[in-house]
């Protein structure tokens, strides 16, 4: 990965090549920042995915290979037809500053299905619950009120 590339693919690539256990959480941070050039904030966040190993030290709480399989499936599967053909109300939340949505046309997702709405949460990036929690709760409450 390039320095500062904090994409899911880069993070999974880094974690996949890491040892499965670490003596300390700071060892994971050092490995991810120095060996894999991830941003320190991402490396620190990844320590929340560690637990004490029964053999000493720390290990990941998730199965790395399963995460890779899920991500690979995500990158090749196109399930927009499920949205377009939905007979139920569906609301998609779009974070205003999330790069993943750049270039994604709402029409492609909804296919003109009036039951599918795309709502944009202002002043938010990937972590919508952190960036704009008050407005997020308001949006969720508005949607819940509309359920018969």
Q: pLDDT 10s digit of each residue in the chain, 148 long?
A: 455 567 888 899 999 999 989 999 999 999 999 999 998 988 999 999 999 999 899 999 999 999 999 999 988 988 888 988 999 989 999 898 877 777 677 888 888 899 999 999 999 988 889 899 999 999 999 989 988 7
- Look at the chain and count its residues: 148
Angle at 76 between CA 1 and CA 127, to 5 degrees: 60
Contact 30, 61 (CB under 8 A): no
Contact 14, 60 (CB under 8 A): no
Nearest to 89 by CA among 122, 123, 115, 52: 115
| β-bridge pairing 116-121 and 90-95 | parallel
Q: What is the pLDDT of residues 74-89, one digit of tens each?
A: 889 888 889 889 999 8
Q: What is the pLDDT of residues 94-114, one digit of tens each?
A: 898 877 777 677 888 888 899
Q: Is 95 exposed, middle or buried (0-12, 13-18, 19+ CB in 10 A)?
A: buried
State the maximum Cα–Cα separation within the chain, in Å, rounded to a whole number.
55
Q: Which single residue is written with the structure tokens 């709760």?
A: 137
**Residue 22 and residue 31: Cα distance in Å, rounded?**
10
């Amino acid at each position: 990965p390039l320095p500062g590339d904090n994409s899911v693919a880069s993070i999974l690539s880094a974690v996949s090549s890491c040892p499965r256990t670490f003596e300390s959480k700071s060892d994971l941070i050092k490995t991810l920042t120095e060996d894999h050039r991830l941003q320190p904030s991402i490396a620190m966040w990844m320590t929340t995915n560690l637990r004490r190993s029964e053999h000493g030290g720390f290990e990941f709480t998730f199965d790395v290979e399963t995460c890779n399989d899920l991500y690979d499936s995500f990158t090749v599967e196109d399930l927009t037809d499920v949205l377009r053909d939905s007979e139920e109300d569906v609301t998609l939340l779009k974070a205003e500053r999330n790069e993943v949505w750049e270039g994604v046309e709402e029409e492609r997702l909804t296919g003109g299905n009036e039951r599918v709405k795309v709502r944009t949460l202002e002043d938010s990036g990937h972590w919508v619950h952190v960036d704009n929690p008050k407005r997020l709760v308001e949006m969720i409450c508005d949607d819940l009120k509309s359920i018969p």
